Every structure is written in C-alpha cells, then in structure tokens.
Amino acid sequence: MQMVDLAVIGAGPAGMTAATMAAGAGLSVVVLDEQPAPGGQIYRAVASGGTARADILGKDYVEGAVLVQGLLASTARHERGAVVWDIAPLDEGFEITFSQESGPSRVAARRLVLATGALERPIPVPGWTLPGVMTAGAGQILLKASGVVAGSAVLAGSGPLLYLLAIQMSRAGAPPLAIVETQSWRDQLRATPRVLGALRGWRTLFKGFGLLAELRGHAIRRITGARNLAIIGTGRAEGLQFTTKGRTQQISCDTVLLHQGVVPNTQASRALGLEHDWHHGQRAFVPRTDIWGESTHRGIFVIGDGAGIAGAKAAVPAGELAALQIAHQAGALDKATRDKKAGAPRKRLEAERSLRPFLEAAYPVAAQVLAPADTTMVCRCEEVTAGEVRKWAALGCKGPNQTKAFGRVGMGPCQGRYCGLTVTEILARSHDMPHSAVGSYRIRMPLKPVTLGELALLEPTDAAE
C-alpha cells in the first residue's frame, strides 16, 4: 500500500489550504473528499459551474475558486467522490479506507488532517420529518450544485445563513415568503456588549451589516422572537405555524427551510478517540487541539469548522498553521521559519474567532430545539421521540450510549449525526448534569454506510485484521 506524508480528509477551505501548503513544502499529500469537486460546503461546485451563478451566490463564494485552483495546481493528489469510512492507526501513521464509484481503496499516511467541516444543527420541531422540510443548507446546496431554488418557501430559525440564503434566493428571482426568526430583540441586546470584542474581526462583522442592509432592500417579511415552530400539513409541508407576541400565526408554503446554526462534524474525531470538550457557546462538543490544530493524538490534526465553528475565513489560516507544523514535524521546515510564518495566520484566525461570542449570543439556539416537546421525533432514523428518551432517563438511563440499548436511538443510517446533540441536551436536563458528564455517542467505524460488496472487494491488511 502506498504511504504518503499526509492525508487530508475534507476539501473545504481548511483542507484545501493545508494540503496545498504541505504539498508546496515538498510533502506527498492525498486529499479525500466525498464531493465530486473540491470546495467544501461554502465553495461547493465553485469550479464546476458555480461561478456561472456568481451574481446570485455573491463575491465571497466566487473567491473560493482561487483556493480550488491552488489545490488543483499543486502536487497534492485529490481523490474526488471519495467517501472515507474507516481510519485505522498503524505502528507508524494511519490507514484510511474510502469508497469511490470505482470501488473501495486504501491509502496509508504518516499524518492525518481532519477537515470535515460542519453539520447543520438538528432542528427537532413538530413536522420536521415531513416532505417539503429541509435545512437551509440543503436549500442552498440545491442552488449551488444544481441552480434550483425552492419555490414558495419560508425560512425559519436563527443565524446569518438564513439572511444569506434569503438574499441568494431573491437574486435568483424566487425570494422566500418570509423569514421567521427565533431569536428576539432581547438576545440582540444581550449580545451588544460583545460587539467590542468582535471588532478584531471587523471585516467579517461589517460584511454581516452589509448583508442585513441588502436584505432590507429585498423587502422580505421578517418576524423575530418566534416560538413554538411547527410545520403543518398532511403528508407534506403545507405551512409553518408559530407564536409571536402571544399570537399564533400560520404562513402557507410548500417548503420550509430550517436552520439553527451549524455544529462541528466530529464523527471522525470521535471515532478516533480524540479528547473533546463541551463548548457552551456553540452548544456542541469540540475536539481539543493546540494552536497548530494538533489533537490529543500526535499526528492527527483537526482544523476548520470541525474543530469549532469559526467560518470559512478562519478555516484558511487554520489550514496554514496545520501545514506549517506538519512540514516542521516532517523535517521540511525549521522551527524559526515555522514560527515566523505562523504570525500572520494566527492573527487572522484570532480575528475571525473573536466574532463568535457575539454571534452565539445574538443568534442563540431556540429553547424548543434544546428541549423538544415529548411528542416530537428526535431520532428520525429509528423514529424515537423526546418523550421516550425522557422516559428512559427516568428509568436510570444516564448517557447517550445507553439510550441505544433502550431503544436503538442513534443506531440508524445517520449514525447519530441528527439526534446526538439533542439526546445529550435531553439527558443533561433530565439528570441536571453537565453536558461534559453526559457525553455523546461513541462513534465506531465505518463512519459512513458501506455495502457488503465494498467490504468483499478489500484485501485484508495488518490494520484490518
């Protein structure tokens, strides 16, 4: 099996930057990403038709093409459509197994960068499993990858992605009927003292104000302080119901696009047994890393949104820092040069991170999402309700892994991606325990569903035996 100096999982801004720089330092690099082209979530399809929609998707999106070109022009090998489903430690390095259309393959690497990005937070509200309900990110993926805009749509939830998507839909000629937001003016007021701390990231902050100004120009109906969101409809979404100022309202629509911010995708970092901490502001677990992005396991780096949500502009310097340290560890860069080159990216990373406390306070996760009603489905795959999880908690079930034994929650094809955080929140409240003590699902390989046919095609190796 081929051994490379570095394997990077994820070709978003973090992974592309780390791979391009490490390759530039003379390291042999392979980049694995399940998407058909590099770009990650934000720059999805930017080099394969996305720029044709530049006027709709905006300048920030098009800027991603530079990163994609840098990666493709580098000596790093980019494996397209490569779904990574197994990572096994070797005596020296790691063995990574992935599947492409052509079948499964393995690669061994001395060092590993996990740049697997973010997932949208699960939004368990009544009716969220009905056809016609998607996340806002999914609505945006339709636009970026296929040029399709959801018609007759209401955007609901909290977070700047709702504004960006509403603007992009408007530019595409199909503005949403309304944006129904769960944060209130009280949250915005509470966030105000944090604006000072966010000023180090003033460029991104001002872009955010620009976004709000453009949104006002599109004259989209905005409702804030909404509570008790519920999608109504028989067999499919027919409207959104919510309470505001003590009154219950309904907006008829065909599509509801939900959003409550994004959370780190920690499936791989958890399966590898890295240490994680509960991040109260982001209400999610984040892998513990040092200033270079190296995790508690030497040789495994976690960068970008997967290491804690900080956005695409932070993902780039995080990729640079990881590449500098990896090149240094590999003997391709001396310590003095590493430290000299690290100054600028470190500053940019800190500036972007400084915005987060403000955003977390201004757009908090809705109370109904953190503590769903008993009848609301929390595990979509196994059809388990919040009430059932609470019932198990009352019977003595203390942790997410035990809930699997009680009722298979988290054991479906999504492998806990869309219920894990909700189950942790429910158990923490039920037992009045800190989230860090409740913990999260133990994730095991394979990271993604894999067929028996794919397994049969693989030659056994030392790590697999």
Ligand X SMILES: Cc1cc2nc3c(=O)[nH]c(=O)nc-3n(C[C@H](O)[C@H](O)[C@H](O)COP(=O)(O)OP(=O)(O)OC[C@H]3O[C@@H](n4cnc5c(N)ncnc54)[C@H](O)[C@@H]3O)c2cc1C
Query: In Å, how far from its chain's centre is CA 277?
Result: 17
Q: Which residue has the tokens 């780190």?
A: 264
Tell the smallest beta-carbon distance from residue 439 to ligand X (Å).
22
Nearer to ligand X, 11 or 27 (CB): 11
Q: Among residues 269 and 430, whose Cβ is nearest to ligand X?
A: 269
Question: Shortest distance, CB of residue 38 to ligand X, whole angstroms?
Answer: 8
Of 30 and 177, the one with the shorter C-beta distance to ligand X is 30
For 10, residues 6+ apart whose C-beta sits below 8 A from its C-beta are 32, 33, 40, 113, 114, 115, 116, 117, 304, 306
Which is closer to ligand X, CB of 31 or CB of 361?
Answer: 31
CB of 362 to ligand X, least distance (A): 16
**Nearest approach, Cβ of 115 to ligand X (angstroms)?**
5
How far apart are CB 202 and ligand X at their closest, in Å?
16
Smallest separation (angstroms) from ligand X to the CB of 158:
14
Are the CB atoms for 162 and 208 separated by under 8 Å? no
**Please, which residue, 37 or 377, has the CB nearer to ligand X?**
37
Binding site for ligand X (CB under 6 A): 9-15, 32-35, 40-42, 82-84, 115-120, 137, 140, 161, 164, 262, 265, 304-306, 311-312, 315, 447-448
- Pair 198, 354: CB distance under 8 Å: yes
CA count, 13 A, side-chain hemisphere, 74: 25
d(CA 136, CA 148): 13
Contact (CB, 8 A) for 352 and 305? no
* Cβ-based nearer residue to ligand X, 161 or 426: 161
Pick the closest to residue 106 from 465, 462, 458 (CA basis).
458
Shortest Cβ distance from residue 221 to ligand X (Å)? Answer: 22
Helix H or strand E encompassing 14:
helix 13-24
Nearest to 203 by CA among 354, 54, 414: 354
Q: Measured from the CB atom, is 26 or 160 closer to ligand X?
A: 160
**CA 392/CA 369 separation, integer angstroms:** 19
CA distances from 256 to 233, 306, 449 (A): 11, 27, 28
